[in-house]
Structure 1
Amino acid sequence: MKLFNILLTSYILVICLYLNSKAEPITECKPNDIKINETFAISKKTVIYTAPNKNSKKLVNETVSKILKTTHYHTLDYSSTVNAICSRDDYVFIIISTHSAPNETSGWIPKSSLRIINKTSKGQRIYTIQDIYWDEYTSNNKKQFTNAINYLHQHNTLCMKNIDPETLTKSPSKSTKNHPIYFVTCGNSNEMRNVFFDTHDMREWSSIMSK
């Protein structure tokens, strides 16, 4: 009975801590704030705040916190893309929709966390080394792989719609000892599939992209 009471007390304490840690209402843009309305990448890992100052509360990821029964915060990293709506002092109000956050998650982050997204004359994003997930199979040739990502995004019909640089890696099923095959996932949710290529393709595409 004593053990049961201890466990029950611990459980209640965890629940109370979780409930008390929920984020306060988010401060949104005001008429005097500087309007931005542009899309940016993220230059460094950062948390999202509920107001435009370092003393405000961090934005709680309520879904993850509820599942794990402990407080977890929304964070952004180099793989994130945000819509910057306005700025106030050294902070920007952003809206995100990524794999790690629900649609329309919003809050404030430091301006220094933003990274400009360069685009082609046709408006297509130009990916950089910072945008791509590197593993043991791809990190030895970042420049050619980055060229491959950009070539596919600009010339492959499926990848022109959407390309996920985080999925770049070597194919375990198609590769052989002397002939590695790589892939990246392209397409929107209803037509998503892997696009495969090899080192010969990368050399050819790099030559095209360097012109």
Structure 2
Amino acid sequence: MQLYSFYNSSTSYRVRIALALKGLSVDYQGVNLRAGEQRQNDYRALNPAAGVPLLVDDEGNGLGQSLAIIDYLEALHPEPPLLPAEPLLRARALELANLIACDIHPVNNLRVRNYLANELSLSEDQQERWYRHWIAEGLAAAEALLVRHGFGDYCFGDAPTVADCCLVPQVANGIRMNCDLTPYSRVMAVYQHCQRQPAFQQAAPDQQPDFAS
């Protein structure tokens, strides 16, 4: 399999965590989002959405969108499971994953931030206020869900799920952008636990071939 990824892309990071948890190796292909490589014609031919991640399986099938990729990996390689078998717990894991993937990430990704800067001419301070506002709203909701329904060392139990695959990269983004994460004690406890696990360490941005400090 090939994984088209950018080291600092949180959506790519999610998939890298899932791959590492399942013990799957890939041929890593770096796509430099900051240089606009995702918009080049040869890459758009592979992924019309012009984003990362993109997984190309051994049959040559290309699949974008991180949650779709994780679901595909889950179907092909069900062990260890990232989606709980119990219906309500499965829904809880997906609820948190989608909170991050649909409510937090889309308004703060590089494409949106470039639009804020280049088209709307927002200052650096205004952009940072935008970013921190949506991080605070989203992580406050994540914290409430985890306090209400979470348990164990991970989001939902003593084994990682798709929720952890999404939570860790989003917290990492918040740290990188100097957001105040002190109000989210349960979120941060899960994050710190995951940071001590080999699969999460392997998937981290600074461990990727295209990492640039």
**TM over 0.5, yes or no?**
no
* Structure number, greater radius of gyration: 1
Q: Which has the higher helix share?
A: 2
Q: TM-score, structure 2 length as denominator? A: 0.25
Q: Which has the higher strand share?
A: 1
Q: TM-score, structure 1 length as denominator? A: 0.25
Q: Which has the higher contact order (CA 8 A, sep 6+)?
A: 2
